[in-house]
Chains A and B, each alone.
Chain A
Amino acid sequence: MADGVNFIVETKDPRVSFAGAVPFLKLMGIVAGGWQMARAALAAEKGLTGGDRPFLEAKIATARFFGDQVLVQAPGLRDTVVKGSPAVMALSEEQFLAA
Chain B
Amino acid sequence: MSTYRAPLKDMKFVLNELAGLGEVGKLPGYEEATPDTVDAILEEASKFASGVLDPINYSGDQEGSKWADGAVKTPKGFREAYKQFCEGGWNALPFEAEWGGQGLPRLVSTPVQEMWKSSNMSFSLCPLLTQGAIEALLLRGSPELQRRYLPKMVEGSWTGTMNLTEPQAGSDLSLVRTRAERQGDHFLISGQKIFITYGEHDMSENIVHLVLARTPEAPEGVKGISLFVVPKFVPNADGTPGKRNPAKCASIEHKLGIHASPTAVMVYDKAVGYLVGEENRGLEYMFIMMNAARFAVGLEGVAIAERAFQRALAFAKERIQGRDLVQGAQGTNAAVPIIRHPDVRRMLMLMKSQTEAMRALAYTTAAAMDYAHKHPDAEARKQHQAFVDLMIPVVKGWSTETGIEVASLGVQVHGGMGFVEETGAAQ
Contact = CB atoms under 8 A, between A and B. Distances in A.
Most buried by B among A34, A37, A47, A55: A37
Nearest to A55: B9
A98 to B, nearest CB: 28
A33 B358 contact: yes
Contact of B398 (A33, A37, A52): A33
Contact of A43 (B17, B346, B397, B399): B17
A37 B353 CA distance: 8
B349 A69 contact: yes
Interface in B212-239: none
B360 A26 contact: no
Interface in B352-368: 352-354, 356-358, 360-361, 364
Given A29-B399, A30-B398, A62 B9 contact: no
B364 A25 contact: no
> What range describes how many residues of A lie at the interface?
20 to 34
A37 B356 contact: yes
B357 A37 contact: yes
B13 A33 contact: no
Nearest to B345: A65
Q: Mostly helix, strand, loop or mixed at chain B's interface?
A: helix
Contact of A70 (B14, B350, B361, B364): B350
Interface in A60-91: 62-63, 65-66, 69-70
A45 to B, nearest CB: 11
A94 B383 CA distance: 48
B393 interface: yes
B263 interface: no
A6 B353 CA distance: 29
Interface in B363-406: 364, 391, 393-394, 397-399, 401-402
Contact of A36 (B349, B352, B364): B364
> What range describes how many residues of B lie at the interface?
20 to 34
Contacts of B402: 29
B18 interface: yes
Interface in A5-47: 22, 25-26, 28-30, 32-34, 36-37, 39-40, 43-44, 47
Q: Mostly helix, strand, loop or mixed at chain A's interface?
A: helix
Most buried by B among A25, A26, A30, A32: A32
Contact of B357 (A26, A44, A55, A66): A66
Interface string B389-425: 0010110011101100000000000000000000000
Contacts of A40: 13-14, 17-18, 356, 360
Given A28-B398, A52-B9, A43 B357 contact: no
Contacts of A26: 397-398, 401
Most buried by A among B353, B354, B398: B353
18 contacts: A25-B397, A26-B398, A28-B394, A28-B398, A29-B361, A29-B398, A29-B399, A29-B402, A30-B398, A33-B354, A33-B358, A37-B356, A44-B13, A44-B17, A59-B356, A63-B353, A66-B357, A69-B346
Interface of B: 9, 13-14, 17-18, 346, 349-350, 352-354, 356-358, 360-361, 364, 391, 393-394, 397-399, 401-402
